[in-house]
Amino acid sequence: MPDSVLAIFSDVHSNLEALEAVIADMKNLPIRRHFCLGDVVGYGADPVSALELVRSLQCPVIMGNHDAAVGCDSDLNEMSNSAKTGARYSRLKLSREQRDWLAGLPLTLTDEQCEFVHGTLDSPSEWFYAVGPEDIALHFAAQICPICFCGHTHDPMFWHSNGAGKLSVRYGQGRISIPSEGKTLINVGSVGQPRDGNRDACYVVYNPQARWVEFHRVPYNISKAMRKIIKAGLPHFSADRLSLGR
C-alpha cells in the first residue's frame, strides 16, 4: 500500500476498546487523513473517552442520530429501549461542552470529490437506512460526487449505479475497485457495534489515486467492553450483541 490513503470509520458507539484497536491498526498504514461518519456515542460504556479519542484525531466528523440525540436533547421516543438508555447515559456522562460539540457537527461533508454522510444524502437529518434498492436509488439521486461514504446501518456494503438505471451491490469485504463511471456508495460498517455477523470492528481505507477501497476488520477485547457495559448498568442486550456481531 505505497500510496497514502484516507481512513473512514463510523458508529463507534462509546466502545473504547474497539476504537483503540482500530486506531492502532490505522497506525500501520500510510493514512493521510481520517474521517468519522458519526455516532461517536450511544450504547456503550465509554462516551467520554471515545469522544475525546475521536477528537484527538483532529479529523472531520459527521453528526449521527445518536450524536444528535445526546447533543441536541432531541426526543428519544423513536429509539429502541437499548438506544434510549445509551443516549441518556451519554447525556449524563458528557460535559456541556462535549455535548455542544456533538450538536455542532455537520450532517454532510464534501471533500476531495467525495461526499460523506451518516445515513443518506436524500434526507440526511431523517436518518434513513440505505438497505434496499429503493433507498439506494433515492440516495443516488441526491449524490453529486462520484463517490460517497456512509455508515448508520452497521453493515459494510458497496453499491454502484452505472447512471443508466443499473444498480449493483457487493458485500463490503477485502479490496474492491471503484468503477470510473457512474456513482458509488460505500457503507464503512461499524467500529463499535458490527451487525453483519462478524464481531470484529470494521473501517475502510480509500485510495483515490488507484481508485479502490479496502475493508479492514480488527479484533478487539470484546469481553472487556461487555463487562463495562454491564457494570455501567446499561442493557445486557447492548453487551450481548457485541459477542454476536448482530
The CA-to-CA distance between both ends of the chain, in Å, stands at: 31
Q: What angle do CA 184, 37, 206 make, to 5 degrees?
A: 45
Please state, in angstroms and as integers, the Cα–Cα distance from residue 22 to each residue in 10, 68, 125, 144, 245, following that order. Answer: 11, 24, 27, 30, 16
| 5-244 is a CATH 2.40.128.20 domain | no
Give the pLDDT confidence of 178-199 residue by residue, as tens digits: 999 999 999 999 999 999 999 9
> 114-145: per-residue pLDDT in tens?
999 999 999 999 999 988 889 999 999 999 99
Q: Kindly give the parts of the chain with pLDDT less than 70.
A: 1-2
